A and B are shown apart, each in its own frame.
Chain A
Amino acid sequence: MRKVLDAAGKECPIPVIIAKKEIEANHADFDIIVDNDIAVQNLTKLASSKGYSVQSAKSGELITVSFISGGAGACEIMQDEEIQNVAAGVGNGSWVVFMGKDHVGEGAQELGSNLAKMFFYTLSQEEDLPASILFMNGGVNLPTKDEQVIEHLKVLRDKGVEILVCGTCLDYYGLKDELKIGEISNMYEIAGRMFRASKVVTV
């Protein structure tokens, strides 16, 4: 569960200071709840200066600002139906996709590989996007060798989805120089994304 800080009812600059102290203490993702737009704008500035991206979701008087590390300052404000999703814990930024192999399901390899291409195409067209897509073990074949999947991943990346690829796995398969998209990551980060996600989708 990601940490949630409550700064509702606090005037500027207190929300920013609470968030700043959290970043400096833990270097992890977190949510902060505020009740005014100025606080959202100031938190967005803080995120940008610290290399985080933010997403905010409004629910009545309260606004939840989510700090997501490694996002280089992108900001997306969600509205209405997306807010419902956030309330249900399935909003953009709160769930992740885990790919531990390069195909979907078990059965014919060719079919599984085609289903993987279709899966990432479908994902790229979705309105509710995951915060991260995580590739491990045989999954690293996709961001290195599967040109169609790489194209879909580019679309997802441009929409702010984080793509993490297991470095140990790339080394094992000798694919490190072949990586076309995504950041080389490690078990600590990939497992951390899964632990803090509201849900993990595996195919």
Chain B
Amino acid sequence: MFPVSRSLRSDPPETTVTGMESPTGPRDRLRAWLREHLSYAVSEFTAATALVVLFIALSLASPHFLTADNLFNIGSQTAVIAIIAVAQTMIIITKGIDLSVGSVAALAGVVGAIVVRDLGFSVWEATVVAIGVGAAAGLVNGLLVASARLPPFIATLGMMSAGRGLVFIITGAVGVYSLPESFQLLGNGEIAGIPFAIVITAVVALAAGFLLSQSRFGQHVYAMGSNLEAARRAGIPVRRNLTAVYVLAGALVGLGGMVAASRVSSGQPNYGIGLELDVIAAAVIGGASLFGGQGRIAGTLIGAFLIALVRNGSVLLGINIHYQQVIVGLIIWAAVYFDQYRRRRLEARG
């Protein structure tokens, strides 16, 4: 038995995902569907409103904000956080959490850089290697959570430490430099004038969104997060699916790490310290619930851009880094508070 499932069983039935328990009739099913989708719409609406308000405020506050260059900059700056936040969202939906994303991204980035520098791999081959490194770390996380039954917090806390240690061992704590210019493709290249990093982010987000909302696997992911025991009894191969989520998320983290390395044309052993906070914040601001079973990619993207806008705006307006951190903290509180407040009202009415 998973340690987490005990507390899950007491969750209110409202959080159970559509399709897992047969509603008694079409009316009930419609109500459940409406409640489900309204709830998402509400949290995404809250975050999107904040995004729009901030966007307008920054446009007024800084003459340099609303320029094509700056908007592309924001897009590229957000790319890595968004890709990794997508991975984090998948894990959060299963009622998990991944604290190791920063370490794993750094590991994938330095390994990707090293195989190019020392083994003469092409940037594409290196990307495959980086994704593989991320997936391998994800597999370890997944096995620890699903088979060894460690709480996700502990499993990934261990990976956070071990992964960073590996990065320092592999690199000798020195950045990986002297890479060919082709290495910059993922982070600095363009397709039809659009930064490649933005294109990758869009593809990842669309694919993950489709997987979660349209596939059977996606249904299972929500079901496991809502009520693991019920999911198991419904015949879902819980252990395999849970492991698969961590592997998939790890692969995305690896990709994100490679994009980050490519952007700065080097493998950086210090990359991604504190990254987990940004991506967890992005997911939570976008409506993902740390209690599992809730979260959508669209919301997470909004959350990621909201955080990126705060950072971008802070520098444009010359705000000290310490205040930036306070602002992000306030936004997390506000986003989750309003989200819960509106959901409660919705549920009271429904």
**Do the two chains belong together in a single complex?**
no
Q: Chain A interface (Cβ within 8 Å of chain B)?
A: none
Q: Chain B interface (Cβ within 8 Å of chain A)?
A: none
